[in-house]
Structure 1
Amino acid sequence: MTARDRSLAVLVAVLWGLNFLAVRVGLDHFPPFFLAALRYLVLAVPVVLFVPRPGVPLRWLLGYGLGFGVAQFGLLFLAIDQGMPSGLASVVVQASAPFTVLLGALLLRERVTGRQLVGIGIAVLGMAVIAVDRARVAPLLPLTLTVLAAVGWAVGNLASRQARPRYPLRFALWMAVVPPVPLLALSAVKEGPGTGWRALGESFGPDGWPGLVALVYIALLGSVVGSGIWTALLKRYPAGVVAPFSMLVPVVGIAGAWLALDETPTGWALAGAAAVVAGVLLGTGWLPAFLRRGTDTAAAPRTREGSGGLPPGGQAAGPTGASQGTQRS
């Protein structure tokens, strides 16, 4: 990989990591389900008008949109709104990778190797450490919602893998057409039918510009720009070369939240976060060979095992909405 392309990969990780800060700012101006709906509505209109359809079965497009878009982003935004620190959220949502492996084994009968099981165990241990640490000072509901958001991402991953889109970027963009209606319905039921729209009107006032800036960042920089650069890199290099850069996302998320939002994680939270990242790296085969030697089962074929050489969550979109996997928001 050239120095220029390495810089672009780091830039994407920074964009995705800072997206969690933008979500936190946006939630100060919009209710969570409505903000998630707006994030997709901004993309859905131009996608329908200008992007050719991806040519995949409708059930997989709906499954991808409902799992990745509605479940992941709806629950993630709700979790942060309920008090989940945005920096920790950027780590916990990476649990989508081990969840993808487990759901693939249960639903698609994919083989799980010894290395993947060890990685899953380490990631689960890390989440348990974070849960125990959080339970001492705050309710566990926001953490639970974030874990469920990671499960939603994993469900979207499986739908994306089953779709096998010929044009992955088109598929990722057309996914944005699915979430607005269910998210707006959830917003109307939980947040009130007019609450979000009033917040949108107020955002055009003198004090509402941070919410609009956050929305533009989430929808355009965190999704379209990041997705475009990442997809271009994956066309030039193998996924195993590009994918590890996505693990900079939680690093940027935690550092950015610490600097901009004064979110100071405890030592235990950092240890748990490191375990989650290490588990994801090991389970998806990114650790150096000498570190994972002996963890693979002897003759396990790698035909369709979990996330393989893909980034956390496999072939899907990252927590920012940028497409991850073999395409890689």
Structure 2
Amino acid sequence: MAVLATRPNRRVTGLAELDRCAVMGVVNVTPDSFSDGGRYFEPRAAIAHGLELLTAGVDYLDVGGESTRPGALRVPAEEEMRRIVPVIEALAREGAIISVDTMRAQVARRAVAAGARIVNDVSGGQADPEMIPFVAEAQVPYILMHWRGHSVDMNSRAVYGDVVAEVRRELAERVERAVGGGIAPDRIILDPGLGFAKTAAHDWELVGHLDELHSLGHPVLVGPSRKRFLGRLLAGPDGEPRPAPERDVATIALVTLVAARGAWAVRVHAAAEAIDAVRVAAAVGDPRYAKRAGGR
């Protein structure tokens, strides 16, 4: 992996600064999630899952009510809110720091009112022109992901000459637009958007060159959990990708690598294992961390 050209930025106004990579646990309140097949679609199940992730020690919970898997169709805003608001309200009461995973400003507004403290917009402000003004008004941290279009046809947009340079440039353009719209630069977190309008080769290039994203000066979140590029790497003799629930070991290996390379946070399904991984990465990168964590 490439050597970091700049010191990674880990500070996000509105959130505590950690001495290691943060772990964001995924709570998909959808019937068609690629990773869990709708296991947590019912509010009671989603809330229980969120509480399990909190017990495991995650720093943040990312709650979403609209699937963004390849080929997924959009759901109405009212349905998205119906799915997530009760879950956010319940988990916020338990002290969770919640990120709402949505591309819609009206959903983000309702989620923040319910207790969410971060907006995770996979479209980076492109899907809804009201999103950037809302985030600027709300003064909450904003996860801005690299995105080229909705799930229904995003695979056709995975065309790059130099994926690292183009993703970096497009993220820089989105940041400029967000800042111009009133979002404070120190509240912006970048996400390379692994699997979104990317082939497996593109994903590997991006995780191998996180230094190029760090050079933009914003914290970087990486979401490798159970993604297609891992399934293809682990394909069996018949060439069939390994199923999503069986990609956790590979996910944790990659979490360790990106944490060691300065990622501000990782977004994962297997929370307890990821927490162990980021602690190992921190101890290897800085022996003082091991001492603070109880070593001698």
Q: Please, what TM-score do these two structures have when normalized by structure 2?
A: 0.29
Q: Which has the higher strand share?
A: 2
Q: Which has the higher helix share?
A: 1
Q: Please, what TM-score do these two structures have when normalized by structure 1?
A: 0.27
Which protein shows a greater Rg? 1
Q: Which has the bigger relative contact order, CA under 8 A and spacing at least 6?
A: 1
